[in-house]
Structure 1
Amino acid sequence: MPPDAGAPLSAVVVGAGVGGLTAALALAKAGLSVTVVEQAQALGEVGAGLQVSPNATRVLFHLGLESGLSALAFRPEAVEARDWQRGQEIRRAPLGDSARERYGFPYFHMHRADLVSVLGQACRAEPRIHLRLGEAVAACEGDGTPSLVLASGERLEADVLVGADGLRSVVREALFGPAAPRFTGNVAWRGLIPAERLEGADIRPVAALWMGPGAHFVHYYVRGGTLVNFVGVVERDDWREESWSSRGRAADLRRDFSGWHPTVRRIVEAAREDACFRWALFDRDPLPKWSRGAVTLLGDACHATLPFMAQGACMAIEDAAVLAACLSGCRRGELSAALSRYEDLRRPRTAGIQASSRRNATIYHLRPPFSWARNQAMKAGLGMGAAMDGLYRYDALSAVGG
């Protein structure tokens, strides 16, 4: 049955991660009726830290989440880049109060599950949003009226369908076929450690980046400073599992970072066997198209990004704000044009972030004498200066304009 011409637009969002839930809130704020379909039985993601920079907190605060996020976040004082072995500071870029004053919004470190929890609570409190958990998608149809077929056989139809279903997006594959990834030759470790287990390890209240030959290591506080999140990336090709919930052996983690600075060694030595996760990093080319008809993509489903600029979640949050702005006040006959506008606004920026993240993978792992040249450039302010300033100043809320 065709929708009532006066009824609000309806949207189905596939995926209840950071991007999908932010999209649901933004679309509801724009007046749409939203159904979120998620195959997991409960909201939440595998525990890990993430960095939420001002370009993203701007959007989240606009959605009314400032108090909930502020209660759970950690506010780093700076980003510090250091030598992997001797520990000397190569470059320091202030955050904390400086970031708030410069960009108008704070820089947060958060546990991913905390961000999802705050988003989920806001979605449950929004009458325009209906969460459907434990619902796997069997098929997606984009021609004519967009629809999903659930594993139960039920069909869901809506004016707009948004695939926010991540790296292995069912919606993307239905629109454009499978996306072939490239293994980068990098394998990442991650884990969370209670801060009290690291007393005396000189864990500073910053986003710490340690750069070494063929590897780098990042750590920072989350959950108000009670946990330390770490990510260690090493060049190797003996692990090809892309899932970031795959467990690794603590002994292998310690071996990969043996000989590093004592602070890094203290962190990896404190990682418990049941709390070490390891995943292979794959790269994907930017998609030339995100939309077909009234179906579009968002976040990792269309621009999966290597984690070397800490912008994966932030880009999905920006996507959500721009998508909602493009659909605000849109008539049903204008949906295809509105989604084309959305992707035209977002593709250049997200492709640039993908390219910069790929480039950082090389820069962080340089060996002598090239690492010396890198360090001199970073000391001069290149790489952590003007480029990051432009990144953080981006205003997704006004990107659509008139």
Structure 2
Amino acid sequence: MPALVHGPRIAIIGGGIGGLAAAAFLHRAGLTATVYEQAPALTEVGAGLVVAPNAVRLLRRLGVMERFLHRAVPLDWGWEFRRWTDGSVLSVEKLSDTCERLYGERTYTTHRADLLDIVKAAVPGDWIRLGARCTAVDPRPDGALLRFADGSRAAADVVIGADGVHSVVRGTVAEPAPPGYSGLCAFRTVVPAEAAPDFARRRAQTLWLGPGRHFVHYPIAGGEAVNVFAAAPAGDYTDESWSAKATVEEVHAEFAGWDPRVTDLIAAGGDPGRWALLERAPLRRWSHGRITLLGDAAHPMFPFFAQGAAQSMEDAAVLARCLAATADDPEQALKHYESARIERTSRLQQISHGRRDINHLPDGPDQQARDAALAGSDPLVGNGWIYGYDAEETALS
């Protein structure tokens, strides 16, 4: 355990993966913090996610790899793209050796709740305040005053808004801007392994591409379940709630005519979650005074590059380094943090949003050109700027 150093009173609003990662890296740096989470228990809404090398190396540095490997699934087979009508392979990337050779770590899949528990293990238990819904952040020259739904207040020298796409903290550092309609919604469900076909239980992330839609599946939870994600036209649906539900029949109708392996997997799941994918432009700044943002509160992105959780963890590592290096000048530390992160995360936001058009091309010449490009591409090498990135080294440069 690091020796605690004198430092600012740090408040983290939000106890999701990003907020807990911030607490974990601050603890590792010898600083202290308090995490304020509105829920009565630490839980992660959602299903599976991909943990790429840029996030895995950070988990290793937190000392939680043994816990992580207990439930994570290594993508030995790798990534593959398939055609919607018949499952013909457009591209396949074997990850078992190449990923570790190029970037020093493998790629895994995991359940979001498992990752949350793993990161939580690196945070002192007495740092976490549950049932604390922050309703306002009042900036002050020497920090901020936090107001909570139960009428209580707390003073902080530094405030980190890790409170997601509906962030309360963001309103204190950025101009309010309503999200735009993207025309897409997403579905998610988890299928028990015993109910999933053998094809879906392989250690692979499979992406089926079709007109206006795509469908993704991969094993999670130590192979005990299969995560299913699908993107489809939203129609007039604009609800961004992670607790909203659809029906199996609705998803089945969206993918009617697709390869039977897709529709069979849909049928094996229960009623899926459903949420609208809304457009948010990159922020021009996300820090003001001694208040800053992290993760989805700063840079929400479509899940098409599977980098949302990874970017929140990178934010956490950089922010902790910056605050530890300039503990006596938190405002300068937050400026350094923002400047180190904003270009990278803005780029990922933009390419994630652009991917929807590439994934959803109607059959025809453009789709054929895309498929040919996939067959001749090496995404693991081509995206080295994502997976080879070392957040902590960047914070020191």
TM-score normalized with structure 2 length? 0.95
Could you tell me how far 1:249 is from its partner in structure 2?
1.3
Instruction: Tell me which residue corresponds to 1:124.
Output: 124
Q: Against the structure 1 CA distance between its residues 169 and 377, is the aligned structure 2 distance closer, same or farther, given a 3 Å change threshold?
A: same
Task: Report the AA paired with residue 344 of structure 2.
Answer: R
Contact 1:161 1:296 in 2 (8 A): yes
Q: Does 1:380 align with 2:366?
A: no
Query: Secondary structure at 2:304's aligned position in 1?
Result: coil
Q: Does 1:322 align with 2:326?
A: no
Deviates more, 1:169-178 or 1:54-63: 169-178
Task: Report the AA paired with residue 289 of structure 2.
Answer: G
Pairing 1:213-292 to 2, within 5 Å after superposition:
213-273=211-271, 276-292=272-288
Question: Structure 1: how far apart are the matches of 2:129 and 2:213?
Answer: 41
Task: Report the AA paired with residue 330 of structure 1.
Answer: T
Q: Does 1:312 align with 2:317?
A: no
Query: Secondary structure at 1:71's aligned position in 2?
Result: helix
Query: Secondary structure at 1:397's aligned position in 2?
Result: helix
Could you tell me how far 1:200 is from its partner in structure 2?
4.2
Q: Does 1:139 align with 2:136?
A: yes
Could you tell me how far 1:178 is from its partner in structure 2?
2.7
Could you tell me how far 1:202 is from its partner in structure 2?
5.2
Question: Structure 1: how far apart are the matches of 2:195 and 2:383?
Answer: 33
Q: Does 1:165 align with 2:163?
A: yes
Query: Secondary structure at 1:59's aligned position in 2?
Result: helix
Task: Report the AA paired with residue 224 of structure 1.
Answer: G
Question: Structure 1: how far apart are the matches of 2:88 and 2:145?
Answer: 56
Query: Secondary structure at 1:344's aligned position in 2?
Result: helix
Q: Against the structure 1 CA distance between its residues 37 and 240, is the aligned structure 2 distance closer, same or farther, given a 3 Å change threshold?
A: same
Pairing 1:62-77 to 2, within 5 Å after superposition:
62-77=61-76
Question: Structure 2: how far apart are the matches of 1:151 and 1:251?
Answer: 39
Instruction: Tell me which residue corresponds to 1:3.
Output: none
Query: How many equivalent pairs are there?
Result: 390
Could you tell me how far 1:204 is from its partner in structure 2?
2.8
Deviates more, 1:236-245 or 1:8-17: 236-245
What is the alpha-carbon root mean square deviation over aligned residues?
Answer: 1.5
Contact 2:27 2:123 in 1 (8 A): no
Contact 1:201 1:266 in 2 (8 A): no
Question: Structure 2: how far apart are the matches of 1:234 and 1:117?
Answer: 31
Q: Does 1:401 align with 2:391?
A: no
Contact 1:164 1:301 in 2 (8 A): yes
Q: Does 1:352 align with 2:347?
A: yes
Query: Secondary structure at 1:122's aligned position in 2?
Result: coil
Instruction: Tell me which residue corresponds to 1:37.
Output: 36
Question: Structure 2: how far apart are the matches of 1:228 and 1:245?
Answer: 20
Instruction: Tell me which residue corresponds to 1:106.
Output: 106
Could you tell me how far 1:266 is from its partner in structure 2?
1.2
Could you tell me how far 1:86 is from its partner in structure 2?
1.5
Question: Structure 2: how far apart are the matches of 1:36 and 1:200?
Answer: 42
Question: Structure 2: how far apart are the matches of 1:388 and 1:238?
Answer: 34
Contact 1:216 1:233 in 2 (8 A): yes
Could you tell me how far 1:201 is from its partner in structure 2?
4.4
Query: Secondary structure at 1:176's aligned position in 2?
Result: coil
Contact 2:53 2:103 in 1 (8 A): yes
Query: Secondary structure at 1:400's aligned position in 2?
Result: helix
Instruction: Tell me which residue corresponds to 1:300.
Output: 296
Task: Report the AA paired with residue 29 of structure 1.
Answer: R
Query: Secondary structure at 1:118's aligned position in 2?
Result: helix
Contact 1:173 1:179 in 2 (8 A): no
Question: Structure 1: how far apart are the matches of 2:137 and 2:338?
Answer: 20
Instruction: Tell me which residue corresponds to 1:390.
Output: 385
